[in-house]
Amino acid sequence: MKGFRERMRETSERRESILILALDLKGERLLERSLSLLEEVSQSLCAVKLNRHLLLPLGLKGVKQIVEKARRLGIQTIMDCKLNDIGSTNLAIAESLFKAGFDALTVSPYVGWKEGLEPVFKLAKSLGRGVLSLVYMSHPGAKETFEEAFIQGKPAYQVFAGWAARWEADGLIVGATRPEKIREIHHLVEGKLPIYSPGVGFQGGSLEAAIENGANYIIVGRSILQTERPAEAAENFRRESWRLLRLRES
């Protein structure tokens, strides 16, 4: 059984894309608009990421339709739920999300391993699904906790990167707004875990800086969703990010 990391790599290479759409829509006709927009831009994507913007108003039944649509379109699906509760609660949430068809979900390392995230990782591994661990978020306030809070005498993000490697996570989430942290974290894990970088565009993250410093996948939302031509915007991101990745690897 292929794992999530392998499926992501294969999808990325087949589509020549490291672009993940953050499908964070709000407003009316959410399901209809989500399905339509996903189909419109899907050829430029390797994956789509959903979060509570859609899960809360649509419920699992509605979100499952988006997941199934993504599967038919040949792209991977990530639920950005940032699990951060006790183990039994995390497990119940993960079971429901994986049953809905998600290929991977995100977790917050703050709750730790034993009776925290351990059951989620074990479940994901048994199902061939993925777990992406937060290391440094993209918003300004992230510095207060991920960098200025210390764990075991080190900045939290350094400890979280080490934990993710030890836990055998399928990827790390590091904001594109912190390219210097992308580079540092890439070296901390010796390049063994792929880095997923949100925050390109509206939050001020540079596509070029993120990829040059080690990002493997780029997560973009509003810079695609809020344009008049989302398919064109997505294709521009796909083409440029793929070029930059190939340039870095050459």
Q: Left if phi > 0, otherwise alpha if psi is -120 to 50, otherwise beta: which for 190?
A: left
Report d(CA 47, CA 111) in Å as an integer. 27
175 contacts: CB under 8 Å, gap ≥ 6: 136, 137, 138, 139, 142, 181, 197, 198, 199, 203, 205
Tell me the C-alpha distance between 199 and 217, whole Å. 12
Q: What is the pLDDT along the chain (250 residues), one digit of tens a residue?
A: 789 999 999 999 999 999 999 999 999 999 999 999 999 999 999 999 999 999 999 999 999 999 999 999 999 999 999 999 999 999 999 999 999 999 999 999 999 999 999 999 999 999 999 999 999 999 999 899 999 999 999 999 999 999 999 999 999 999 999 999 999 999 999 999 999 999 998 788 899 999 999 999 999 999 999 999 999 999 999 999 999 999 999 9
Domain locations along the chain: 4-249
- pLDDT reported for residue 203: 82
DSSP state of 149: S
Catalytic residues: 82
pLDDT computed for residue 82 by the predictor: 97
Q: Domain 4-249 - what CATH class?
A: alpha beta
In the numeric block, which tokens belong to residue 118? Answer: 């351990």
Which of 224, 226, 248 lies closest to 238, judged by CA? 224
Q: What pLDDT shows up at residue 222?
A: 94
